[in-house]
Structure 1
């Protein structure tokens, strides 16, 4: 699964002022990342506001990215939810032509037990032959999928190839790295911990900030993969403030504000999210100007 090693980015869904999808900006964002070192693209993840875009919009986003990408980078599609039967049905009925793997977020709101996590992902693994990246993000789902559950799934299902771990818990990363099967990938979902996790044996990152600074962020992760801690941390320290800024209020309002400052897209988001505050926008603008 070397195609999922390095820097993946969780693409935003750009909107126009009327909150329709801005496909021209999406094409610009995809090309910007391909041309500046990103290793793979993640479509319709939570950063893409998948909760508030329609099914027809999701398919249009997929089609535009596949066409724009033109087989240049691997593509990962977000397919997850807290209704296991609906997720399984999507896996059995959707056309996955052009998609290299799926990213499946842990069930949110329902707060399953560890056995519930296991049975949910077991059903998903048995519904598709595509490589599956588990996605543990307890800050959003309200329940942590423990390392023992992740490792159990990795051992039991050949197509569960990786986990995007986003618990912002360095010890949990270390436990996963210590106990995982040799060919299983531990991918950072925390931009602030991405370099340290990669240096410890992780396989890189699925990043939010990386789509705004793909050249620098992918270079940092490459240093991590090569064990060049000094060079990697030089970049990490330069990016610490902006990583904090983009998550200060909500995601993806922060990253969209960065991308607006870079003239890639507008900073509009759909309710219940709102744009970054003026105070945060000023901080982000100053960072981008001086970076």
Structure 2
């Protein structure tokens, strides 16, 4: 059984002006997501600026999220690292807090071989009992998980159950699903490819868009699963201009700006991320108005 089906939000981590985590705003965001039909919360991923959180902050945000959600929907914690020992530490601690699953990003910068990736992910998964979803995002990590490696991991490691595919390479994803034999739970890691990946047998999306449009993102998935493929496709296509605006600069710069425009208090970005260029902010605001969320 999949960790979740539908639209999971890759939730942002709000910060106060002094750079501290804003737990009050974070709690509000969690409630907003649940009230608007989000199917799961993915905490401390790329969108949550996990790379600039200290280990203590990282684990505290995960713990806080689990407590606030209180079992209403699944919570998946981002606990990957380019250091296997660090990933094991974060994963075993997160498991103690009661997370429903873990999201493990490809080790970045190291550029491991496929053999190395297999050993890394197996070592981390073997340290816990909760389900593990791999996260393939070569544009950020400099390293791609080959379809054969994903299938091997999902076949040979009991609690590695699927992959968040953010390569954008549809041919690679088609190959993955052709090899999967039902053993890989596929999640779209790109908001502009939700319906296409559902059509390949995907379970849902781990979404940036859902931060600002949770109900609409949920509906893209819900319509597809209800057999309304045309409706899902229509919702997907309607969201494309906003998706483009949300990725006109590196994530999560635009989505934090979008949340602040909505008055949701995402706060500042931690350096080296910075505020988006004004011309892009104007385009983002227009896209949000055209989509009906501002």
State the shift of 1:202 in Å. 0.8
Question: What's the secondary structure of 1:201's corresponding residue?
Answer: coil
State the shift of 1:124 in Å. 1.3
Equivalent residue pairs, number:
291
Equivalence for 2:215? 215
Equivalence for 1:251? 251
Contact 2:59 2:93 in 1 (8 A): no
Please tell me the root mean square deviation across aligned C-alpha atoms, in Å.
1.5
Query: Residues 13-49 of structure 1: CA distance to partner in whole angstroms, max 9, x if unpaired?
Result: 0112222211121111111110101100011111100
- Tell me: CA distance 1:177–1:95, structure 2 relative to 1, closer, same or farther (3 Å): closer
Contact 1:199 1:227 in 2 (8 A): no
> Distance between the aligned counterparts of 1:63 and 1:79, measured in 2?
12
Question: What's the secondary structure of 2:77's corresponding residue?
Answer: strand
Equivalence for 2:4? 4
Contact 1:81 1:87 in 2 (8 A): yes
Query: Residues 85-129 of structure 1: CA distance to partner in whole angstroms, max 9, x if unpaired?
Result: 222233345552321110000110011111111111111121111
> Distance between the aligned counterparts of 1:91 and 1:201, measured in 2?
28
Contact 1:176 1:186 in 2 (8 A): no
Question: What's the secondary structure of 2:268's corresponding residue?
Answer: coil
Query: Residues 55-74 of structure 1: CA distance to partner in whole angstroms, max 9, x if unpaired?
Result: 23223322321222121111
Say whether residues 1:149 and 2:149 are aligned partners: yes
Contact 2:186 2:203 in 1 (8 A): yes
State the shift of 1:145 in Å. 0.8
Query: Residues 149-183 of structure 1: CA distance to partner in whole angstroms, max 9, x if unpaired?
Result: 10111110110011111100111111122111424
Alignment of 1:55-204 (within 5 A): 55-93=55-93, 96-204=96-204
- Tell me: CA distance 1:238–1:89, structure 2 relative to 1, closer, same or farther (3 Å): same
Equivalence for 2:30? 30
Equivalence for 1:238? 238
Question: What's the secondary structure of 2:198's corresponding residue?
Answer: helix
Question: What's the secondary structure of 1:86's corresponding residue?
Answer: helix
TM-score of the two chains, using structure 2 as the length reference:
0.94
Question: What's the secondary structure of 2:256's corresponding residue?
Answer: helix
Instruction: Return 5+ residue gaps in structure 2 as ranges.
Output: none
State the shift of 1:3 in Å. 3.6
Instruction: Return 5+ residue gaps in structure 1 as ranges.
Output: none
> Distance between the aligned counterparts of 2:193 and 2:22, measured in 1?
31
> Distance between the aligned counterparts of 1:172 and 1:103, measured in 2?
20
> Distance between the aligned counterparts of 1:238 and 1:122, measured in 2?
39
